[in-house]
Amino acid sequence: MIGGIVLILILYGVTQPLLTSLKGKQKAVNLQVLNNLYWYHMLFVAIYYTYGQFRNSDSHAYYHNAEFPEVGWMELFSNGTHFIEWLAFPFVQYLHFNYEMMMVLFGWLGYIGFLFFYLFFKENLNLRIKFQGYDIVTLLMFLPNMHFWTSSLGKGSAIFCGIGMLVYGLSYPGHRKVILAVGGFLTYFIRPHIFFAIMIGMGLSFLLGREKMPLYQKVLSVIIGITISVLIYDKLLIYLRLDEDNVWESFVSQTGFTAGQLQHAGSSVDMRSYSLPVKLFTFWFRPLFIDAPNFLGIFVSVENLFCLVYFTKIFQRDFLSFIRQASAMVKMSAVVFISISFSMTFVMSNLGIIIRQKSMIMYFMFFVVVAFLDWKETKRLKRRMKYAQLRTQRKRELEKKWEVMRKGQGV
């Protein structure tokens, strides 16, 4: 326990130079918000640690396998579960981190994910959109369910860190090669299909985006995205256990089998008979109070209600106009959110697992909605400025006419 507390303080000190450097590059960064976010996230590390003492948590298995490995460190290097054990191995074996310290370390990775998503939002938006008087970007960074599932030793915190770094790097890939590489590395080796979806989204967004960039750069981005997708395609099929000769049928068969297996867990919902819209609604916004399986489910329902209200803001007639002229980052986020949501609905049939899995992609949806609201507010302000300018111009014209009339009458 003491080791975990000491590590929290050490990592706080390690984080400060990083925050200071980022503040120097982006004036919109609020250091107080990011420091508060650090302590808020560490609170959830403590909450998840307590939760894990009374519930069956994967973090115990990850730590045990890193402490008593059946194979050497490099033999653990592979996709999925073993990659988390590979990450944990040197800290447990060589630095002798105990369980609490590993929880803090991986919780810190989750915080880094929030940090880069915060930067991604801030540099791609023009204004401070408010929700009930609060800065919406800041508010989104403090959603409790997002912190709970990214605050422990496991895939959730590490992949959230990887995705955050990856999307931040994609904003300016030429200037953020290291961040882009680290984010891609973490995302690919934890969940290759997520990396695959982001690469496809990146290629489409740079091709269809409205940014003023040379055609060769757009084509090059698409070629890079396609090349990476082709290179990982075979490994992705193996990871997902799909048949190369009949990908769709094997996908349906495999996802049906997985969904059936998840039916045996608690808080299950039989999504296999649902229509696609109902499946998507279930994945994004359930539980919603009436189907909350326990106290945690009721707590999550409050956040889901907020997400539902927030999501409904896109159902406006000018949303399609916005998407057509949106930036590459907005289009990438939309593609990633929809494609991953679509695939997940075929697999998920347990509310507990749904709550955990959707934390990987919800910030993509949040970004699209915030960008839409930002676009609308920018248009409104431009109209007001134009109207004010027309009024000023009209006033000046009237003053000139009045002055001419006065001179003509000899007043």
- Count of domains for the chain: 1
Q: Specify if 112 maps to a domain.
A: yes
C-alpha span between 45 and 105 (Å, rounded): 10
Comparing 9 with 55, which gets the higher pLDDT? 9
Q: Specify if 322 maps to a domain.
A: no
User: Is the Cβ–Cβ distance between 51 and 103 less than 8 Å?
Assistant: no
pLDDT in tens, 9-31: 999 999 999 998 888 878 778 89
Q: Copy the structure tokens of residue 201.
A: 């989204």
Comparing 379 with 401, which gets the higher pLDDT? 379
pLDDT in tens, 67-84: 998 888 888 888 888 899
Q: Specify if 348 maps to a domain.
A: no
Q: Copy the structure tokens of residue 68.
A: 């008593």
Q: How confident is the model at residue 118 (pLDDT cuts 50, 70, 90)?
A: very high
41-55, 194-208, 337-351: least confident range = 337-351
Q: Specify if 19 maps to a domain.
A: yes
The answer on pLDDT for 262 being more than 50 is no
pLDDT in tens, 338-367: 888 877 776 655 566 677 777 778 899 999
Q: Specify if 321 maps to a domain.
A: no
Q: Specify if 29 maps to a domain.
A: yes
C-alpha span between 250 and 267 (Å, rounded): 27
Give the torsion sign (CA, 173, 176, 181, 187): negative
The residue to which tokens 């989750």 are assigned: 110
C-alpha span between 28 and 49 (Å, rounded): 33
The answer on pLDDT for 122 being more than 50 is yes
The residue to which tokens 């082709």 are assigned: 230
C-alpha span between 392 and 373 (Å, rounded): 28
Annotate the chain with three-state secondary structure. Answer: CHHHHHHHHHHHHHHHHHHHHHHHHCCCCCHHHHHHHHHHHHHHHHHHHHHHHHCCCHHHHHHHHHHCCCCCCHHHCCCCHHHHHHHHHHHHHCCCCCHHHHHHHHHHHHHHHHHHHHHHHHHCCCCCCEECCEEHHHHHHCCHHHHHCCCCCCHHHHHHHHHHHHHHHHHCCCCCHHHHHHHHHHHHHHCHHHHHHHHHHHHHHHHHCCCCCCHHHHHHHHHHHHHHHHHHHHHHHHHHCCCCCCHHHHHHHHHHHHHHHHCCCCCECCHHHCCHHHHHHHHHHCCCCCCCCCHHHHHHHHHHHHHHHHHHHHCCCCHHHHHHCCCHHHHHHHHHHHHHHHHHHHHCCEHHHHHHHHHHCHHHHHHHHHHHHHHHHHHHHHHHHHHHHHHHHHHHHHHHHHHHHHHHCCC
Q: Copy the structure tokens of residue 386.
A: 């134009």
82-96, 266-280, 393-407: least confident range = 266-280
C-alpha span between 294 and 266 (Å, rounded): 11
Percent of the chain's residues with pLDDT above 70:
78
Cis peptide leading into residue 287 (ω within 30°): yes
β-bridge partners, 172:
none
The answer on pLDDT for 119 being more than 60 is yes
C-alpha span between 392 and 400 (Å, rounded): 12
The answer on pLDDT for 140 being more than 80 is yes
Length of the chain: 411
Residue 350 has φ and ψ, to the nearest 5°, of: -135, 120
Q: Specify if 139 maps to a domain.
A: yes
Q: Cβ–Cβ contacts within 10 Å for residue 214, how many?
A: 8
Percent of the chain's residues with pLDDT above 90:
29
Q: Is the pTM of this model over 0.95?
A: no
Residue numbers of the domain that contains 150: 1-190
Task: Report how far Cα 5 is from the mean position of its chain's Cα atoms.
Answer: 28
User: Is the Cβ–Cβ distance between 161 and 112 less than 8 Å?
Assistant: yes
Q: Cβ–Cβ contacts within 10 Å for residue 142, how many?
A: 15
Q: Specify if 30 maps to a domain.
A: yes
C-alpha span between 8 and 107 (Å, rounded): 10
